Amino acid sequence: MSSIIDGKAVSLAVKEELKARISELAGEGKRIPCLAVIIVGDNPASRSYVRGKIKAAEFVGIDSRLIELPENVQEEVLLGKIAALNADPLVDGILVQLPLPAHICEDRVIDAISVEKDVDGFHPQNVAALWLGRPCIVPCTPKGIIHLIRSTGVEVSGRKAVVVGRSNIVGKPVAKLLLDLNATVTIAHSRTRDLAALTREADILVAAVGRPRMITGDMVKPGAVVIDVGINRTEDGHLVGDVDFESASAVAGWITPVPGGVGPMTIAMLMRNTLEAYKARTL
């Protein structure tokens, strides 16, 4: 039976630490970091993610501004809001909740966010800097995944890591971060042949696919660290990951649950990125 990596507890520790650092700033009479969140439309999942982010900001003591725009907002209006936030010296981080309605070009929106305030780490300049090993804002979910892996104390250097999924927001950046920790990394995707043979070799297995319970226990190497990024809602309304927790936890050494694994870490890392963006701008 594996040990559970408790993302709730680890993320709470991160937030407590941030809270202490922000309270120190306040005590020194300094300005408090500020995160601006833009949400377009009424997508319930997006609304719930945004609520979680604003709540976490309140918890750690980061000021937040919520900008709510209607589903049919013109792209130009959204770009205008971003330009105003870029120019606002009191705003340290800007996050536009994705996905956006189909009539808005996501790439144009991401490109419009100032690189220094891009706390999601999605701007092409931040992405390029990540791959070049230069200072950058690291995207929240991959950053949280690495934090969780490190929390186990398991050695990453020289070990085999398999990342299932190659998205720009999770799969690719987490693979790069594992490479930075000297893992030998393989990225699998929908065209990978014999996925199970590959995953069975992984000392560290990250599943970021979006397919409920597709990684089963027989695909896991005994003792492996298994990180489940997936958030999938089943027909009966339950949240499940990309990993079949029951069978995988019987084989893995360490495993994250869903919910309560990667999800809370993503939000904690957003708070950390906001503080880091603040520091880069003000200190």
Residues noted as catalytic: 53, 97, 120
- Work out whether 96 is an interface residue with ligand NDP (CB under 6 A): no
- Work out whether 202 is an interface residue with ligand NDP (CB under 6 A): no
**Encoding tokens for residue 218?**
């027989």
- Work out whether 11 is an interface residue with ligand NDP (CB under 6 A): no
Q: How far is the CB of 53 from ligand NDP (least distance, A)?
A: 11
The neighbour count for residue 171, using CB atoms within 10 Å, is 22
Give the span between the Cα atoms of 276 and 282, in whole angstroms: 10
- Work out whether 23 is an interface residue with ligand NDP (CB under 6 A): no
**Single residue of 73, 104, 229, 252 touching ligand NDP by CB under 6 A:** 229
Q: Residue 8 to residues 1, 14, 67, 144, 207: CA-CA distances in angstroms?
A: 20, 10, 27, 11, 19
Q: Residue 95 to residues 87, 113, 114, 244: CA-CA distances in angstroms?
A: 15, 8, 11, 32
- Work out whether 25 is an interface residue with ligand NDP (CB under 6 A): no
Q: How far is the CB of 248 from ligand NDP (least distance, A)?
A: 16
- Work out whether 230 is an interface residue with ligand NDP (CB under 6 A): yes
Q: How far is the CB of 205 from ligand NDP (least distance, A)?
A: 12
Name the segment binding ligand NDP (CB under 6 A); options: 90-98, 178-186, 248-256, 259-267.
259-267
Q: Dihedrals φ, ψ of 85, to 5°? A: -70, -35
- Work out whether 110 is an interface residue with ligand NDP (CB under 6 A): no
**Single residue of 93, 171, 173, 257 touching ligand NDP by CB under 6 A:** 171
Is 2 within 8 Å of 249 (Cβ atoms)? yes
- DSSP lists the bridge partners of residue 64 as 35
Name the segment binding ligand NDP (CB under 6 A); options: 12-20, 104-112, 159-167, 175-183.
159-167
Give the span between the Cα atoms of 75 and 100, in whole angstroms: 10
**Single residue of 141, 256, 273, 274 touching ligand NDP by CB under 6 A:** 141
Q: What's the 3-state SS for 45-111?
A: HHHHHHHHHHHHHHHHCCEEEEEEECCCCCHHHHHHHHHHHHHCCCCCEEEECCCCCCCCCHHHHHH
Interface contacts to ligand NDP, rule CB under 6 A: 141, 164-167, 169-171, 188-192, 195, 208-211, 229-232, 262-263, 266
